[in-house]
Structure 1
Amino acid sequence: MSAAPNGQSDIVIDVRNLSKSFDGKVVVENLSMQVRRGRIHGFLGPNGSGKTTTIRMLCGLLTPDSGTGLCLGYDILTEQTEIKRRTGYMTQRFSLYSDLTIRENLEFIGRVFGLPDPASSASETIEKLGLGGRKDQLAGELSGGWKQRLALGACIMPKPELLLLDEPTAGVDPKARRDFWDEIHGLARDGLTVLVSTHYMDEAERCHEIAYIAYGHLLVQGTVKEIVAGAKLSTYTVTGDDLGDLAEKLKAAPGVEMVAPFGASLHVAGRDGAALDRVATDFQAEGRVWTRDEPSLEDVFIDLMTRAQDNYQ
């Protein structure tokens, strides 16, 4: 592939057949994906599925064993330095200085990136992310949500073209997660492209498009609507008594491909709608209600995981 650094292609990430192994163990295998400009692209999968390894290959921190691709018009194999200069990468762990204040951390980042006026850039970022009331507070004294916001500020201050977020909301409270996602959507409206890995279904549903990776293989990608429709699942929600015992019996029933508890109910799904209707009839009992339902994104992902092959077995 040839780079087109000055072009404004609609495709920001375009990689084909990426593979990466560590100590002879395949972590990512033949992964291909595209991310469009100005979109929030969710990257989902269980721990150990290869999400972080993929993100690091995209931003030039790891070199693939095989495969090709462009990121921001630059070759991921030969032009990694150019990619790093134009990409903000927020890791899972807080990586700024705990003994510096918010303002000092951001001014330091500005100097590292060679910004012409680090102090002004830091002030602009503090204002943009609502950090003004805490600008002189030590980073180490911040709660998880405020640390997260500071880390985001450090990533966007150099004005990157692409933002890579690796499980940025892990361990923060629901309000902080919601506020964070409001910020991400604001950045996307301003034209920034975002690739974000997450475990949360509500966050996945806030993405323009999503990709699901399991055990190093990309299983599906597209909009939430496309992925749910493509799964072709028929689903029942079951409420009532003795659902634990019922779940064990349903796992062996013909036509049932997924049984999962959701609060005080069970989601029961399969691809053969007629067979599932028969199961619903056979297992009707006093005190239980079977209701036809639309499959959720979580139903689809549980089904995908049930059928995926663990590369560590």
Structure 2
Amino acid sequence: MNVIDVRDLTKRFGDKTVVDHVTMTVAEGEIVGFLGPNGSGKTTTIRIMCGLLTPDEGEGTVLGFDIRTDSLKIKREVGYMTQRFSFYEDLTIEENLEFVARLYELKPVATYVADTLDDLGLTSRKDQLAGTLSGGWKQRLALAACIMHKPKLLLLDEPTAGVDPKARREFWDEIHRLAHGGLTVLVSTHYMDEAERCHRISYISYGKMLATGTVEEVVKNAGLTTFVLQGPNLDRAAAALKDKPGVEQVAPFGATLHVVGSDKTALQAALKDVETEFEGVTVRPGETSLEDVFIQFMSGSKDNMG
């Protein structure tokens, strides 16, 4: 069963088309990463899906409810975690969760709050003011508030921005635990390692959906070739490569240089010239990364807000 099944979603603000005929499906229990540059339409698409915005065009269902006519029913069944921490900083963790429980008319409030505190490992900190929490603990509080009413779908909008790597990993372990229990998750992120932890990914750029599939499928379908250069004078080699035919990306990685292009023959010719020109520089085949693919998508996309 598809928990999200939307077609040709379009949303305009004035003369700007922020979401441009976006089609997406997400199956029950699936974790789908939603990726794209800032201003690409991710947040607007998520808000349409959770019933906060009505599309100008397009149709579809979320949890079996029509996105146009059943927005209130969708809101009751969805947990939505926004980019910014949006709780009362002068209330404790427990008091914030009590407030959320009352909003959802959960009864008995004390039982729901206690169970949620225990489930997310927050019981020992329940009396701590939300404003004094670190980024990782604020994130955990936000997740607790999102899942307290037992939603069937979790929409997460860049949930780990500003959180340290350990807290991010713990957060993702929690997301996978919830998904194993049947919860469906759509998460927008800028982090490549997070994208690789998703079952599938969808890439949107300036309102248009450019790619969808597993990480392996998206990388393969991009049709890019990557080579790795090692040796002395790599800064000069990089400068020499920048304007050569077939070279589309040149990026330093530690003591190596990654060179990427979609025309393998032209790329190899350019690299042969550099090998000849710079003594000691060696070229070997590399593995195209998700980041390489996304940089390629971004460089080929036109900003719709210009």
Q: Same fold (TM over 0.5)?
A: yes
Give the structure 1 partner of residue 145 of structure 2: 154
Deviation at 1:279, TM superposition (A): 1.9
The counterpart of 1:225, out of the listed 216, 223, 243, is 216
Change (3 A) 1:263 1:62: farther
What is the correspondence of 1:1-12 to structure 2 with a 5 Å cutoff?
10-12=1-3
The one-letter code sitting in structure 2 at the alignment partner of 1:118 is: V
Percent identity reads: 62
Deviation at 1:263, TM superposition (A): 3.3
- Cα distance in 2 for partners of 1:249, 1:30 equals 41
- Cα distance in 2 for partners of 1:26, 1:92 equals 22
The counterpart of 1:290, out of the listed 283, 299, 302, is 283
Give yes or no for the alignment of 1:55 onto 2:54.
no
Give the structure 2 partner of residue 163 of structure 1: 154
Q: Deviations over 1:274-293 (max 9, x none)?
A: 22222221111224232201
The one-letter code sitting in structure 2 at the alignment partner of 1:76 is: I
Change (3 A) 1:244 1:216: farther
The one-letter code sitting in structure 1 at the alignment partner of 2:85 is: F
What is the correspondence of 1:17-36 to structure 2 with a 5 Å cutoff?
17-36=8-27
The counterpart of 1:84, out of the listed 75, 79, 86, is 75
The one-letter code sitting in structure 1 at the alignment partner of 2:198 is: C
Between stretches 175-184 and 281-290, larger displacement belongs to 281-290
CA-atom RMSD in angstroms = 1.2
Change (3 A) 1:129 1:297: same
Between stretches 241-250 and 25-34, larger displacement belongs to 241-250
Unpaired runs of at least 5, structure 1: 1-9
Deviation at 1:240, TM superposition (A): 3.1
Give the structure 1 partner of residue 128 of structure 2: 137
Give the structure 2 partner of residue 192 of structure 1: 183
Give yes or no for the alignment of 1:216 onto 2:203.
no
CA contact (8 A) 2:31 2:198 kept: yes
Give the structure 2 partner of residue 4 of structure 1: none
Structure 1's consecutive aligned runs of 4 or more residues displaced over 4 angstroms after TM superposition are none
Give yes or no for the alignment of 1:105 onto 2:96.
yes
- Cα distance in 2 for partners of 1:145, 1:173 equals 7
CA contact (8 A) 1:108 1:118 kept: no
Give the structure 2 partner of residue 310 of structure 1: 303
Deviation at 1:74, TM superposition (A): 0.7
* TM-score for both structures, normalised by structure 2: 0.96
Deviation at 1:272, TM superposition (A): 2.2
- Cα distance in 2 for partners of 1:263, 1:309 equals 31
- Cα distance in 1 for partners of 2:32, 2:179 equals 10
Q: Deviations over 1:131-170 (max 9, x none)?
A: 1221110101100100000000000000000000000000
Task: For residue 186 of structure 2, give the secondary structure of its aligned residue in structure 1.
Answer: strand
The one-letter code sitting in structure 2 at the alignment partner of 1:29 is: D
Q: Deviations over 1:263-312 (max 9, x none)?
A: 33322111222222222211112242322011111111111111112223
Deviation at 1:121, TM superposition (A): 1.0
Give the structure 2 partner of residue 255 of structure 1: 246
Give the structure 2 partner of residue 6 of structure 1: none
- Cα distance in 1 for partners of 2:231, 2:158 equals 36
